[in-house]
């Protein structure tokens, strides 16, 4: 089967770095940080990888514990909560596996940001993190899982609309497109070919970025190799 190698690769990716969390405070100007509270994150969710990564997306250290993780929904009005607190809470919940709670906080963040006319390019990572949750919820073959993958794809596209330099989002989008290809039948070769080419294009976008995200670049290269092999198998 042409998607056997892809299925194995997808499993490996899920176990490694795909669908990573993102940081955004450094994208805001000093005035915006004061206005929206998006100062440098200094709570105990800040891992060493956050401190040293300067390219908008991070891999949180899942081994670190948090003594004061916030849980439950917010009891404050949108005007009273600075964006960095909402974002930090969402990341903590996402990190702890509370995807429903994290989604609620990310949506809360988007409501606040839109209410205050914050430039969408400054919080593209929120869309990427939301997409990551949808993608993790869309692992199955049932209808609900498929709907989650559609939402994930749309959210990654939204993130890339405002920040095309998010290499990990390009790679994750390619993976979602390849997952779509796995669902196509043997008599849908033209559609399969289109999906493969679209996924390859996403990988090329990731490789064309001027950044030092070697993990995304490495995965993009591997995916291109697999995609080219599968394209050769299609008559």
The CATH T-level fold of domain 4-62+69-233 is 1.25.40
Whether the per-residue pLDDT at 10 is higher than 70: the answer is no
pLDDT tens, position by position, 83-125: 888 999 999 999 999 999 999 999 999 999 998 888 998 899 9
pLDDT value at residue 143: 87
pLDDT value at residue 225: 94
Q: Which of 44, 115, 103 is nearest to 77 (CA)?
A: 115
- Indicate if the alpha-carbon torsion angle 72, 73, 76, 79 is positive or negative: positive
For 48, 65, 81, 115, the CA distances from 181, given in Å and listed in that order, are: 37, 38, 42, 38
Give the residue, 5 or 162, on which the prediction is more confident: 162
pLDDT value at residue 183: 82
pLDDT tens, position by position, 15-60: 333 444 444 433 434 443 333 332 222 222 222 222 222 223 222 2
Helical segments of 38-115, H only: 48-52, 83-95, 99-115
For 50, 124, 217, the CA distances from 54, given in Å and listed in that order, are: 8, 15, 16
Confidence of residue 180 (pLDDT cuts 50, 70, 90): confident
Are the C-beta atoms of residues 40 and 25 closer than 8 Å to each other?
yes
pLDDT value at residue 81: 55
The structural domains of the chain, with segments of one domain joined by +, span 4-62+69-233
């Amino acid at each position: 089967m042409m998607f056997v190698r892809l299925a194995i690769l997808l499993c490996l990716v899920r176990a490694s770095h795909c669908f990573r969390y993102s940081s955004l405070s450094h994208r805001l100007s000093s005035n915006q940080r004061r206005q929206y509270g998006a100062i440098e994150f200094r709570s105990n969710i800040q891992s060493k990888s956050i401190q040293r990564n300067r390219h908008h997306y991070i891999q949180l250290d899942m081994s670190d514990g948090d003594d004061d993780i916030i849980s439950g929904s917010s009891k404050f009005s949108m005007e009273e909560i600075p964006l960095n607190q909402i974002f930090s809470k969402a990341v903590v919940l996402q990190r702890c596996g509370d995807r429903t709670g994290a989604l609620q906080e990310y949506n809360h963040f988007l409501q606040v940001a839109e209410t205050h006319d914050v430039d969408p390019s400054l919080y593209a990572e929120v869309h990427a993190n939301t997409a990551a949750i949808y993608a993790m919820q869309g692992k199955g073959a049932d209808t609900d899982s498929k709907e989650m993958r559609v939402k994930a794809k749309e959210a990654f596209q939204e993130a890339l609309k405002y920040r095309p330099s998010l290499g990990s989002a390009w790679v994750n989008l390619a993976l979602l497109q390849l997952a779509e290809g796995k669902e196509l039948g043997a008599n849908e070769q033209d559609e399969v070919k289109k999906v493969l080419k679209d996924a390859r294009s996403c990988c090329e976008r990731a490789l064309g970025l001027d950044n030092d995200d070697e993990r995304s670049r490495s995965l993009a290269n591997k995916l291109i190799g697999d995609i080219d092999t599968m394209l050769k198998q299609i008559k």
